[in-house]
Chain A
Amino acid sequence: MEELQQVLEKNGLVFAFLAVGLLTWGADMLSKKVFASKIPGSALAIFLALGMGYLGGLIAEGEQGLADLPLFASLSFLGGGMFRDFAIVATAAGASFLLIRKSGWIGLISLLLGIGIFFLAGVALAWMMGYRDAVSLCTLGAGACTYIVGPVTGGALGASSEVIALSIATGVVKTIAVTILTPLLAKKIGLQSPESAMAYGGIMGTSSGVAAGLAATDPALVPYGAVTATFYTGLGCLVCPSLFYLILSTLLGA
């Protein structure tokens, strides 16, 4: 056993691939079997990972969740700022100027409106809960956009690990809320046409939530919602740590 532990600790990054892979596999099974694919496997996996981080924090009594256990130390390398930001840039491979033209001005307006609403609402709620510094407020507002924009913003601004964890949890709750509420409210809000699906993708933004929610509403609408939702995270990563942070810190006089 001691040999095995040595091998695992020595090849930590490879072990981290295995651990994350197993967790993803388990989350996909759970999504299919228990939730009848109603909740996206990725949201579930992130939620489970946050739970693991909690357990890790209890056992190791550190500040890096599961990564404080020597066996899982490389999780913080795989999930560190460099790989995270690099992989996010790679997601732009799914976007193109053709798509931008296709989504047109409905797409642009809904995107700006969507990021603005979620950021503002997130900041307002964080303020009510007692957060007062611009960095934490900005990170939590960004987390209300998506679970990617939150940690990217927090990482860039130097927010605490605790606030970043909170921003991810917020984004995951949002994804699940969008997934569940979309098919329930679609008719009421007039979400029936390709154009409205495009606007919807831009306003809600969370691509996995929009895709899953639209699939449960009308599968034909999924590609239209995805066109605009693709840009949401990228645009959020651009404006939250820059423009929005500057506005916030100016308002707070810091």
Chain B
Amino acid sequence: MIKGLALLSFCFLAGMWCGALLGSWLGIDANVGGVGFAMIFFLLLKEASVKKGLWNGEFAFGIEFWNKLYIPIVIAMSASLNVKSAISSGLLAILAGILPVLLAFWIFKVLIKKLGTS
């Protein structure tokens, strides 16, 4: 279990480091795409460890646990945000949640027609 967790931790820290380096290289005070880099590292190392036969039930469990924990974490985060002052712009959340979806439906329809896939 802890070996899988260690692999995940390594990828996370390496990715965050890349994000921080890219941020300072670009001159912005932010972690630029660290999560994305970490995911790429993780995907690569995951393939490698599957090939080497390291990836078994016990190993994957340490990662699976965090995979499953992500919605609960988002829930905890949502409850600890400044929702009170966001509520005045609540209309934006509704509009920006619905209008792009309608636009995407339309683009999907055009795309499917163009590709001619049935």
Q: Which residues of A contact B (CB under 8 A)?
A: 16-17, 20-21, 23-24, 42, 45-46, 49-54, 56-58, 63-67, 72, 75-76, 78-80, 83-97, 106, 110, 113-114, 117-118, 121-122, 125-126, 129, 140, 143-144, 147-148, 151-152, 156-158, 160-166, 168-174, 176-178, 181, 185, 188-193, 195-196, 199-200, 203-204, 234-235, 237-239, 241-242, 245-246, 249
Q: Tell me the interface secondary structure of chain A in the complex.
A: helix
Q: Tell me the interface secondary structure of chain B in the complex.
A: helix
**Is B52 interfacial (CB-CB < 8 Å)?**
no
* Given A49-B78, A78-B73, A204-B101, A97:B43 Cβ within 8 A: yes
Distance (whole angstroms) from the CB of B107 to the closest CB of chain A: 6
Chain B residues near A114 (CB-CB < 8 A): 104
| Structural contact, B75 and A148, CB atoms closer than 8 A | no
Contact count A vs B, C-beta below 8 Å: 306
CB-nearest residue of chain A relative to B69?
Answer: A87
The size of the chain B interface, using a CB distance under 8 A, is 78
Partner of B84, one of A65, A117, A118, A249: A65
Distance (whole angstroms) from the CB of B108 to the closest CB of chain A: 5
| Structural contact, B71 and A42, CB atoms closer than 8 A | yes
Give me 15 other A-B pairs in contact (C-beta within 8 A), A52-B78, A114-B104 excluded. A52-B79, A85-B38, A87-B69, A87-B70, A88-B35, A90-B64, A93-B67, A110-B111, A121-B99, A156-B34, A168-B81, A181-B102, A193-B118, A199-B115, A234-B36
